[in-house]
Chains A and B, each alone.
Chain A
């Protein structure tokens, strides 16, 4: 059973517009959420994170919103640029049981930003 879900496998956006990538989770014990960006043939790179005690975190063009009651988070990219075209993974982490904080990833959303 998937604990972290990214229901949109792909998203296409025009350059300069907003990109919104969504992520849902099922485990209420998760307390830290992250977004990673991945280009083909490279490892994922960390983009932005949010702790469960916050509902928003902003870093330049990237903002992550967390709605704990809905178990939903989203990544907003504005304005979108062609270089943002990549696969975006949502991940969650919780310090419970024996997990020692390992990350649980969604399946990813492929973002294409068209010039």
Chain B
């Protein structure tokens, strides 16, 4: 069974804090993705990576950065958290020819 594990299910952070969301996959997938899900807006791609140390901006990269130092791990960083970054964050991984597998999600609240 493919497993994509996100480090936290729920997080509460203060405005201005630096926030790290971690994601690990165990299927040796080349591609990893970070999405956020908001009501009425669906899943929007923040960043993706198709190889170690490679990253590409998605549709809404502003206010975020990512790190992929190892193939199995993809981190999303909120440099200075703001209330409009309160959301459900979803990590996914895929090989080039398969569907994406998602983690369980992290519900982040910025207060």
Contacts and interface: CB of A to CB of B under 8 A. Distances in A.
Contacts, number: 66
Q: Which size bracket describes the interface of B in this complex?
A: 20 to 34
Interface residues of A, number: 25
Contacts of A42: 104-105
The A contact surface, by secondary structure, is loop
Nearest to A42: B104
A60 interface: no
Contact of B50 (A9, A49, A100, A104): A100
B44 to A, nearest CB: 8
Contacts of B102: 36, 43-45
A31 B103 CA distance: 25
B35 to A, nearest CB: 8
Contacts of A108: 42-43
B33 A102 contact: yes
Interface of A: 6, 9, 34, 36, 38, 41-46, 49, 89, 91, 95, 98, 100-108
